[in-house]
Amino acid sequence: MTPTLGVPRNAGQIHGRNISQDSPANNQILVWDDGTQKWIPDKTIVSTLGTDDTTVPTSGAVTTVTNAHSTLITARATKTTAAMSVYVDKAATGAGDGTSWTDAFTTIQAAINSLPTVLEHAVTIYIRKGTTTYSETLTIQQLTGKGSLTIRGEYYWNGQCAAANTAAANKFRLTATDGANIASGDPVLITSGTGGSGSYKYYVFTTVSSVSDIGSNVYEVTLSASLDSGNIGTTEYYTILKTSIGGSISMSNCQSLFIIGLSITASGVDAISATNTRINEIHAVFGVSDRNVLSCTTEFSQFLSVTSSYLRSTSASRCAVWIQNDSLCIIGLLPPRTGTAAQCCVLSSAVTNVAYGSLLIFQQSGGEVWNSIIECDTNGAAFNIIRSSSCLIRSCTILSATCTGIFCATNSSAERVTINNNATTPLNPATSTDASYIK
């Protein structure tokens, strides 16, 4: 009969340490030997485990060992021991362990599932553009620690435009060491303005039509559509992406997350949602959904910085950004990338009722919007701030004419600093009411 190992740590159930009858070395799992009637080290997997729970195994793999009497299972790693780079390429044919582009995971969720639950270091998941979109509904749960997780496209470009050799409203130049990877069909956002006093007044969201290599890492990009304000020059800024996800990212009970350089198209769900989660930065993200694009819907959730992004909700009753229940969102500011002017976001929605907005903040939540363009199609509100919430709006432009610019009610407040408000009804209410105010 095989005896049962004790459950307490150091009694040897998984780590063979301090077991009085056998005293095995570190890094060993014990198996029962009928011949000697003793627990002995299982030499087949001695090298897979570390000396304690903080080091088994750093790759996050799951190891199962079976012998004639028992099955021992070691869970995925509990804690990082160093910074990690994890690779995803849906066309990879290697080992599939994420350690290189050759051996990359073929799905993003597999890369997420491989991670330790405690991140004490910086961990980055790099996602290569596929010949088709990554069709995945991603879930990230229970990540803690003093480190961070970044999910990013392999390539993205963001910065200040230079005029084309022959200035045009659909051409510009950029300098990038990896610019040879820009290709026809890549989505691109151009915003126009100096970044001060609400001077971002125009944008075009389109695709790359063609790219010419000028030499010395300079590339001339031709767009599929033109900027309405005229020729593109040094007062315009570009963001170009390559990696696309047809699905969504849902995060709960996590902290210190970064989402960078991804285009996300969702259907029937919010494109990026956070529950009890702190997202440090969303940078260079294009998000489109028939529900909300970004949503913080539970207390303590935060989007601390949303920069250089285009967010569009196609729903008549949802929002580009939806913040509620003691949550926080800061748009167009922090941390500086290539200067304040390059951080402009575009929030757009198809809302048809003033009860919704391109940005909706309610239930004791807060927001700040800097250097950005806000619009909605018709009859909605660019900003909707209600139910004991507040928002600082600085150096922004409200583009839409047939909408309410700022709607503020139920003990809420909005503070405006140098904004261009082109709405038919700029403020609602026009004067303070029910302890709400707009100043």
Residue whose entry in the numeric block shows the structure tokens 């003033």: 354
CA-to-CA distance for 263 and 116, rounded, in angstroms?
26
**Residue 345: predicted pLDDT:** 94
DSSP three-state, residue 177: coil
Instruction: Flag whether pLDDT at 69 surpasses 60.
Output: no
**Residue 388: predicted pLDDT:** 92
Q: Do residues 191 and 143 lie in contact, with contact meaning Cβ atoms separated by under 8 Å?
A: no
CA-to-CA distance for 427 and 250, rounded, in angstroms?
34
Instruction: Flag whether pLDDT at 29 surpasses 70.
Output: no
Instruction: Flag whether pLDDT at 73 surpasses 50.
Output: no
Other Cβ atoms within 10 Å of 36 Cβ, number: 9
Instruction: Flag whether pLDDT at 262 surpasses 70.
Output: yes
**Residue 76: predicted pLDDT:** 52
Mean pLDDT of 134-144: 94
CA 184 vs CA 130, 136, 141, 197, 330: distances in Å: 14, 24, 36, 35, 33
Residue whose entry in the numeric block shows the structure tokens 């950004």: 321
Q: Catalogue all structural domains in the chain, each as residue range(s) with its CATH number.
A: 1-78 (no CATH), 115-154+243-438 (2.160.20), 159-232 (no CATH)
Provide the pLDDT confidence category of residue 177 given band limits of 50, 70 and 90.
very high
Q: Do residues 210 and 222 lie in contact, with contact meaning Cβ atoms separated by under 8 Å?
A: yes
Work out the percent of the chain whose per-residue pLDDT is above 70. 78
**Residue 23: predicted pLDDT:** 42
| Burial of residue 178, with CB atoms counted within 10 A of its CB: 0-12 exposed, 13-18 middle, 19 or more buried | exposed
CA-to-CA distance for 351 and 377, rounded, in angstroms?
7
**Residue 44: predicted pLDDT:** 43
**Residue 334: predicted pLDDT:** 62
Q: Rounded to the nearest 10 degrees, how much is the dihedral formed by the CA atoms of 375, 381, 385, 387?
A: -150
Helical ranges in 317-398 per DSSP H: none
DSSP three-state, residue 437: strand
CA-to-CA distance for 259 and 153, rounded, in angstroms?
9
**Residue 41: predicted pLDDT:** 57
Provide the pLDDT confidence category of residue 295 given band limits of 50, 70 and 90.
very high
CA-to-CA distance for 272 and 291, rounded, in angstroms?
10
Number of residues that this document lists for the chain: 439
Cis bond before residue 429 (omega within 30° of 0): yes
Instruction: Flag whether pLDDT at 318 surpasses 60.
Output: yes
Please give the helix or strand (H or E) that residue 109 lies within, else none: helix 108-113
Question: With left for phi above 0 and alpha for psi between -120 and 50, is residue 387 left, alpha or beta?
Answer: left
Nearest CA to 86 out of 97, 94, 78 is that of 97
Q: Do residues 273 and 248 lie in contact, with contact meaning Cβ atoms separated by under 8 Å?
A: yes
> In Å, how far from its chain's centre is CA 422?
31
Read off the tokens for 251: 């995060």
Amino acid found at 246: G
Instruction: Find residue 125's DSSP bridge partners.
Output: 86, 151
Nearest CA to 15 out of 59, 38, 48, 58 is that of 48
**Residue 342: predicted pLDDT:** 59
Q: What is the mean pLDDT of the chain?
A: 83
**Residue 297: predicted pLDDT:** 79
**Residue 48: predicted pLDDT:** 39
**Residue 201: predicted pLDDT:** 85
**Residue 33: predicted pLDDT:** 62
CA-to-CA distance for 152 and 131, rounded, in angstroms?
17
CA 55 vs CA 25, 48, 80, 147, 254: distances in Å: 16, 10, 7, 16, 21
**Confidence (pTM):** 0.81
Read off the tokens for 196: 């001060």
Instruction: Flag whether pLDDT at 187 surpasses 50.
Output: yes
- Report which of residues 272 and 30 the model is more confident about: 272
Cis bond before residue 187 (omega within 30° of 0): no
pLDDT digits (tens, 9 = 90+) for 234-254: 989 999 999 999 999 999 999
Instruction: Find residue 330's DSSP bridge partners.
Output: 368
**Residue 395: predicted pLDDT:** 86
> In Å, how far from its chain's centre is CA 274?
10
Work out the percent of the chain whose per-residue pLDDT is above 90. 60
